[in-house]
Amino acid sequence: MKIMLLAAGRGERMRPLTDTRPKALLEAGGKALIVRLIEQLAAEDFLELVINHAHLGQMIESALGDGARLGVRIRYSHEPEALETAGGIALALTVLGDAAFAAVNADLHTDYPFARLRSVLRPDALAHLVLVDNPPHHPRGDFALVERRVANAGPTTLTFSGIGVYRPELFAGITPGAHAQLATLLRPAAAAGRVSGEHFRGDWRDIGTPERLAALDAELRSREGA
């Protein structure tokens, strides 16, 4: 299974840090966020990666190269401007191929067992989402989870983690190069009962602000002696 790392976002909430460096290359514990993620994936035998980029994207390519140093093979999908998640995935489909693939936000810190992604997608599903407890910065959540099916509403909502598995058919209606948000595809599919899901209760953090980055950096330096 190929995995796409979503790294094209501008990182507005991370400014001024992202004025001169892509968000995915910001460091915690002496190591870039995206490098930590790639090391996790490589350890679980995900060796074929696709990375999209836009803002200062050449810096990502210069830092990671073809992935050999990290034990993986990387191909890149360049976006002249960030196309949102679904638009970026649609543009990369020619590289991702015809089989189901995973996509992961490149600015996450998590101990999610990525090997699980190989077997979660149901035959009738267009997508599988990993959901987490609502963090303080997103208390309203995104989706409900009913008997391992994702629903648009329910008595309890959870937050989409930025980790998912998708069939290329989900993106068939998007013209390559068009802007499109993932939710505009997921919500109709969920309403049709074609999105499965799981509730992950382990360590998951969206490193979306300088404060969260600083907190993770301090924790990792204490734990790892970086």
200's CB contacts (< 8 A; 6+ apart) are 110, 112, 130, 131, 132, 161, 163
Residue 224 confidence class, pLDDT cut points 50, 70, 90:
confident
**Span 193-219, pLDDT tens digits:** 999 999 999 999 999 899 999 999 999
Nearest alpha-carbon partner for 166 in 199, 125, 204, 201: 125
Q: 162 lies in which domain range?
A: 3-224
pLDDT of residue 70 exceeding 80:
yes
Q: What is the pLDDT of residue 225?
A: 66
Nearest alpha-carbon partner for 129 in 68, 196, 41: 196
Could you tell me if 82 and 178 are in contact, meaning their C-beta atoms sit under 8 angstroms apart? no
Q: What is the pLDDT of residue 29?
A: 92
What CATH number does residue 71 fall under?
Answer: 3.90.550.10
3-state secondary structure of 96: helix
Q: What is the pLDDT of residue 11?
A: 74
Residues 78-86 have a mean pLDDT of 92
If one compares 177 and 115, the residue with the highest pLDDT of the two is 115
Residue 195 and residue 128: Cα distance in Å, rounded?
Answer: 6
Residue 25 confidence class, pLDDT cut points 50, 70, 90:
very high
pLDDT of residue 12 exceeding 90:
no
Write down the pTM of the prediction. Answer: 0.93
Residue 196 and residue 148: Cα distance in Å, rounded?
Answer: 6
Residue 111 confidence class, pLDDT cut points 50, 70, 90:
very high
User: What percentage of the chain carries pLDDT values higher than 70?
Assistant: 99
Residue 104 confidence class, pLDDT cut points 50, 70, 90:
very high
Residues 77-96 have a mean pLDDT of 94
User: What percentage of the chain carries pLDDT values higher than 90?
Assistant: 85
The Cβ-side half-sphere exposure at 181, using a 13 Å CA radius, reads 4
Task: Look at the chain and report how many structural domains it folds into.
Answer: 1
The Cβ-side half-sphere exposure at 139, using a 13 Å CA radius, reads 1
pLDDT of residue 226 exceeding 60:
no
Question: Which DSSP state fits 100?
Answer: -
**Span 132-190, pLDDT tens digits:** 999 998 999 999 999 899 999 988 999 999 999 999 999 999 998 899 999 999 999 99
Residue 207 and residue 29: Cα distance in Å, rounded?
Answer: 13
* pLDDT, the chain, mean: 94
Q: What is the pLDDT of residue 33?
A: 95
Q: What is the pLDDT of residue 5?
A: 98
